[in-house]
């Protein structure tokens, strides 16, 4: 994090965590299709299952969440649970491609929220957002549904994007000052408990699934949730809010590729072209963030300790 701007200092390890985490998170769609489980039941299973593993690890190592961070962490848990629930339920209302297209709302929201945390959007930011919208539009062209049911699903997608962008903002300090296992463990535990009553009231089915379905659910817990969201939260300590969210527009392209490998899903030339545009959007966005961070470091005054500060506290979110 630069001393001048309060922005995260994006080192190579931050970007490595960002892109490996992106790949793991992109297994969400294929794993959900393979599991064939009720959407809200899957949200509860993935969040509570992840929480049990993370909190057991934290307890074994004597790690805990400081009391001063509990309130914001619980608020963040509600936002992340809302993201999972809205995004998954939207598949029941709108078509798959439209849902993926609206992932572009996430970097747009992040660009707008960035000003509140010392990361004002630049021309490169908006160029990246525009290219991302174009790329996702190419992938999903002609697949919009126009009825009221589909419009409700589209609105849920956008609200889900807003929820996860706010999650990263609200939990900034807790994430920076708390070991990751207890932080994410509490987030997933509270989030799962928030969704559980909704799942029960809606009649979600928690039993009667095949062993294969539970195996895919376990993969969703270990790979997608603990691995993917864990690494994205590691990256969130080191990269800007916009960088963190702009790479998410690559998730549809990666998901399509994984679907082709796992289920023989066909990848068309149009989808490949859209993927190229998404990659260009991410490259432009990250290049702009890298240049801004380098400029901030060049103009920052020396640290009082002679430049040896390695873990400065983030600004309040």
On the question of pLDDT at 148 being above 70, the answer is no
Q: What are the strands, taking DSSP E only, across 63-188?
A: none
Tokens 């021309």, residue located: 123
Q: Assess if residue 303 is contained within a domain.
A: no
Q: What is the three-state SS of 186-227?
A: HHHHHHHHHHHHHHHHCCCCCCCCCHHHHHHHHHHHHHHHHH
Q: Assess if residue 119 is contained within a domain.
A: yes
Low-confidence winner among 34-38, 51-55, 141-145, 245-249 (lowest mean pLDDT): 141-145
Digit-coded pLDDT (tens) for 36-57: 899 899 999 999 999 999 999 9
**According to the model, what pLDDT value does residue 127 have?**
82
Higher pLDDT, 11 or 73: 73
Residue 281: domain span: 12-297
Q: Assess if residue 279 is contained within a domain.
A: yes
Taking residues 225-229, report their average pLDDT.
95
**According to the model, what pLDDT value does residue 244 have?**
79
Q: Assess if residue 5 is contained within a domain.
A: no
On the question of pLDDT at 303 being above 60, the answer is no
**According to the model, what pLDDT value does residue 180 have?**
93
On the question of pLDDT at 305 being above 60, the answer is no
Neighbours of 16 (CB within 10 A): 14
**According to the model, what pLDDT value does residue 6 have?**
41
Share of the chain above pLDDT 70, in %: 71
d(CA 3, CA 302) in angstroms, rounded, equals 8
Tokens of 210: 């095949």
**According to the model, what pLDDT value does residue 315 have?**
33
Q: Assess if residue 2 is contained within a domain.
A: no
Cβ neighbors of 233 (< 8 A, separation 6 or more) are 175, 180, 183, 184
Digit-coded pLDDT (tens) for 100-111: 666 666 677 777
Higher pLDDT, 180 or 99: 180
pLDDT tier, 1 (very low <50, low <70, confident <90, very high otherwise): very low
Taking CA atoms, 50 is separated from 7, 144, 235, 269, in Å, by 30, 34, 19, 37
Taking residues 209-238, report their average pLDDT.
94
pLDDT tier, 5 (very low <50, low <70, confident <90, very high otherwise): very low
Q: Assess if residue 125 is contained within a domain.
A: yes
Inter-residue contact 73 to 65 (CB < 8 Å):
yes
**According to the model, what pLDDT value does residue 141 have?**
61
Low-confidence winner among 25-29, 83-87, 244-248 (lowest mean pLDDT): 244-248
Higher pLDDT, 313 or 75: 75
Q: Assess if residue 311 is contained within a domain.
A: no
Taking residues 144-149, report their average pLDDT.
60
Report the chain's mean pLDDT, rounded to a whole number.
Answer: 78
On the question of pLDDT at 271 being above 50, the answer is yes
**According to the model, what pLDDT value does residue 120 have?**
72
On the question of pLDDT at 316 being above 50, the answer is no
Tokens of 66: 């400081």
Taking CA atoms, 287 is separated from 19, 193, 237, 242, 283, in Å, by 15, 40, 18, 12, 6
How many domains are contained in the chain? 1
Inter-residue contact 100 to 140 (CB < 8 Å):
yes
């Amino acid at each position: 994090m630069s001393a001048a701007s309060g922005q995260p200092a994006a080192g190579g390890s931050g970007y490595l965590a960002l892109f490996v985490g992106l790949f793991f998170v992109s297994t969400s769609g294929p794993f959900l299709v393979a599991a064939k489980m009720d959407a809200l039941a899957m949200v509860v299973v993935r969040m509570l299952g992840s929480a049990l593993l993370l909190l057991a690890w934290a307890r074994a190592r004597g790690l805990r969440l400081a009391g001063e961070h509990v309130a914001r962490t619980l608020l963040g848990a509600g936002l992340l649970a809302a993201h999972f629930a809205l995004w998954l339920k939207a598949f029941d209302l709108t078509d798959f491609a439209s849902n993926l297209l609206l992932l572009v709302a996430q970097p747009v929201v992040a660009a707008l929220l960035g000003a509140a945390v010392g990361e004002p959007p630049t021309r490169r930011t908006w160029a990246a957002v525009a290219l991302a919208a174009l790329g996702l539009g190419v992938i999903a062209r002609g697949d919009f549904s126009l009825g009221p049911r589909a419009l409700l699903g589209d609105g849920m997608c956008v609200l889900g994007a807003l929820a996860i962008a706010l999650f990263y903002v609200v939990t900034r300090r807790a994430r920076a000052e708390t070991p990751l296992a207890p932080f994410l463990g509490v987030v997933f535990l509270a989030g799962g408990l928030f969704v559980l009553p909704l799942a029960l009231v809606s009649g979600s089915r928690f039993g009667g699934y095949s062993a294969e379905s539970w195996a895919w659910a376990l993969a969703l817990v270990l790979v997608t949730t603990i691995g993917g969201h864990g690494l994205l939260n590691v990256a969130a300590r080191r990269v800007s809010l916009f960088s963190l969210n702009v790479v998410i527009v690559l998730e549809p392209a990666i998901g399509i590729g994984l679907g082709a490998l796992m289920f023989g899903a066909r990848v068309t030339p149009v989808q490949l072209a859209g993927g190229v545009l998404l990659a260009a959007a991410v490259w432009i966005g990250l290049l702009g963030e890298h240049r801004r961070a380098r400029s901030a470091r060049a103009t920052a005054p020396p640290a009082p300790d002679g430049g040896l500060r390695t873990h400065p506290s983030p600004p309040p979110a």
